[in-house]
Structure 1
C-alpha cells in the first residue's frame, strides 16, 4: 500500500481494493497453513497503515467539513478499534487453530462493512463538501502518513489528534525495526 496517487478518495479506495486482494489470497490458501499467517501479516501491515492515515488526516477533515462529521468520524474510529482488536487476536492465534479461521471471517466481515460504508457514504459526502484542492492535499498527507505509520495493531494507542500524530511515527519506527529483524511482511 505504497502511495497510489490522486486525491484522498482515490488513494484510500485503491487501498481498499488491495485489501480485497489480500483477503482473496488468504481464502485460496488451505486452512491451517502457515502461509495464511504470512499473508495475514502483509494484510495487517497494510490495514494498520491505512487506519493510521485515516485517523491522522481523513477523520479530522470529516469532523471539519461535514455537517454530522463528529458522529461519522466517531463511528469510523469505533470500526477501526474492532478491526485492530481482531488483528491483535489473530497475531496471537496459530494458523492451525480453529479460532484463527473464525477470527479471520470476523475480520473480513468488519473490514468489508467498513469499506462499503466509507465508499458509499463518507467518500460521497466528502466529495460534495470539499474543494478538489482540499481532497488532493489530503491525499498527499495520507500517502506520507502511510510511510511512517506503525505496521502492527496497537488497539490501546490514542486514535485522535494530537496524540495519534505524536505517537504514530514512533510506534511505526519500532514496528518497522521489529519487522526488519524478524523478516515479517517480506
Structure 2
C-alpha cells in the first residue's frame, strides 16, 4: 500500500528578503553613522515595493535609510558631533539618491505622456529639497530655531517620498517591463555611488 506524502507549508527561498528585512537593513546603515543615537523610524507608509529586487524596491530602501537619518537628527542636540555627521550624511545621501533616481527612473518615464507629469513633479521637488537643505546647512545648528526649520524640511521630505512610493512609482510601473526594472536598478546603483561621492554640502541662506 502506498501512502500519500503529507503536504508541507511553503518555505521562503533562501536569500530572498522580506519587507521587514529591507527596512531593518536600511536603518542599520543609518545607525553606522552615529551608533549611540536612537533611530526611531516607527511605522512607515504602506508600499508594495519594500523588499522587492527591482528599481522601486531599491529606491524604497534608500527612503527608509533617509527616514532613519531624519529621526536620528531629530534626537540630537545643539551643534553636537553626531548632529553634524548625521546631517552631512543626509545631505550627501539625498543628493546622490535624487540625482541617480532622475537618471535611472524619471528620465526613462519622462517620455511617456501618462507619466511625464509625475516625472516633472518629482524632479521639481528634488530641486526644492536641494534649496531647503542648503539653507539649513548655512544656519547655526546650535540655535533652537535650527531644529524647528529642520522639522519642517523633514515633513516636506517625508511627504515627497510617501507620494513617490504610493502614487508615482505605481504609475511608472505600468509602463515598464520586468527587464526595464532590473536594468534601471543597475543604472541607479552605478549612478548613486558616483553622484554621492561627488556631492558636497552647499550653504546658502534662503531669503523667502
The question of a shared fold, defined as TM-score above 0.5 by the shorter chain, is answered with yes
2:140 to 91, 94, 104: 94
User: Matched residues in 2 for 1:99 and 1:49: separation?
Assistant: 27
User: Matched residues in 2 for 1:116 and 1:94: separation?
Assistant: 29
Q: TM-score, normalised by structure 2?
A: 0.67
Which aligned runs of 4 or more in structure 1 are off by greater than 3 angstroms? 31-34
Give the structure 2 partner of residue 26 of structure 1: 73
User: Matched residues in 2 for 1:127 and 1:68: separation?
Assistant: 11
What is the correspondence of 1:14-93 to structure 2 with a 5 Å cutoff?
Answer: 14-65=61-112, 67-93=113-139
Larger RCO (CA under 8 A, 6+ residues apart): 1
2:162 to 116, 130, 135: 116
- Structure 1: 5+ residue stretches without partners: 156-186
- Structure 2: 5+ residue stretches without partners: 1-25, 30-50, 204-208
Contact 1:48 1:153 survives alignment (8 Å): no
Tell whether 2:199 aligns with 1:151: yes
Q: RMSD of aligned C-alpha atoms?
A: 2.3
More helix by share: 1
Q: TM-score, normalised by structure 1?
A: 0.74
